[in-house]
Amino acid sequence: MQFHTWLIFLVTSIGMSLSPGPNGMLALTHGAMHGSRKTLFTIAGAVLGFVAVIGLCMFGIGALIKASVLWLTVLKWVGGAYLFWLGIQAWRAPPITVTTSPELMKISGWSLFRQGALSAVTNPKGMLFFSAFLPQFIDPQRNLAVQFAAVAATYGVTEFLAEYAVANAAHRVRPWLERVGRRFNRACGGMFVIIGAALPLRA
């Protein structure tokens, strides 16, 4: 990958990372509920999930999904169902308080990591985005593994910074979140449910 091509991909990655999506919303929710430091597990899972998606797309799986209506449909329904489940979990979560309650302390870093990774991996928008745009930045005459490392590292860094900024902002407004209580959880949960229900219905 030539340097000017990488710069274009960098700008594209920043735009993709800053655009509203399930992982950004998950980082916001977890940042408010568990703090920005613990949400690093969620963000790490999301970044590794996106790196896995990039790898699948670059090494041929993305092309298979784009060409197969069946696989695309399966991915949409799996992703939608998982986001719907996340919405239900957020809806039922206890109100956020300035002093973290024992119930919120019980959640493990592995659980947060898993939620972040699965949200990234099962998001059809990410798979289709990378499947459609990565070929424009890949030079078939150069080593694919090296290009994968450059692409994955670039997007991983931009996604990490974007999600951490969201989580950190959520952590700082926890006093306000304490006042709105359960309504915040239900708003985030409702948005997850809407996204999860809408994804399988997209053309």
Say if CB 123 and CB 16 are below 8 A apart: no
List Cβ<8 Å contacts ≥24 apart for 137-142.
137/1, 137/5, 137/6, 137/8, 137/9, 138/1, 138/58, 139/1, 139/2, 139/5, 142/1
- Does residue 94 register a pLDDT over 80? no
Q: CA-CA-CA-CA torsion for 105, 24, 74, 121, nearest 10 degrees? A: -70
Alpha carbon of 62 to those of 16, 76, 105, 132, 163: distances in Å?
Answer: 18, 14, 38, 9, 25
pLDDT tens digits, 104-151: 556 788 889 999 999 888 876 677 667 766 766 777 677 878 888 999
pLDDT given for residue 86 in this prediction? 75
Q: Is the Cβ–Cβ distance between 102 and 30 less than 8 Å?
A: no
pLDDT at 156: 94
Residues 165-187: what's their mean pLDDT? 74
In whole angstroms, what is the distance from residue 193 CA to residue 195 CA? Answer: 5
Give the model's confidence band at 152: pLDDT under 50 very low, under 70 low, under 90 confident, else very high: very high
The dihedral over CA atoms of 13, 64, 48, 121, expressed in degrees to the nearest 10, equals 100
Is the model's pLDDT at 181 over the cut of 70?
Answer: no
What are the structure tokens assigned to 200, written together?
């399988």
pLDDT confidence band for 100 (50 / 70 / 90):
very low
Q: How far apart are CA 34 and CA 116, in angstroms?
A: 14
Is the pLDDT at 93 greater than 80? The verdict is no
21-30, 80-89, 121-130 — most confident range: 21-30
pLDDT, tens digit, 9 for 90 and up, residues 31-78: 888 888 889 999 999 999 999 999 988 887 556 655 666 766 776 687
- Cα–Cα distance between 57 and 104 in angstroms, integer? 36
The whole-number average pLDDT for the span 165-182 is 73
pLDDT above 70 (res 101): no
**Between 1 and 117, the higher pLDDT residue:** 117
Look-up of token digits 């956020």: 96
The listed range with the strongest mean pLDDT (21-30, 85-94, 145-154) is: 145-154
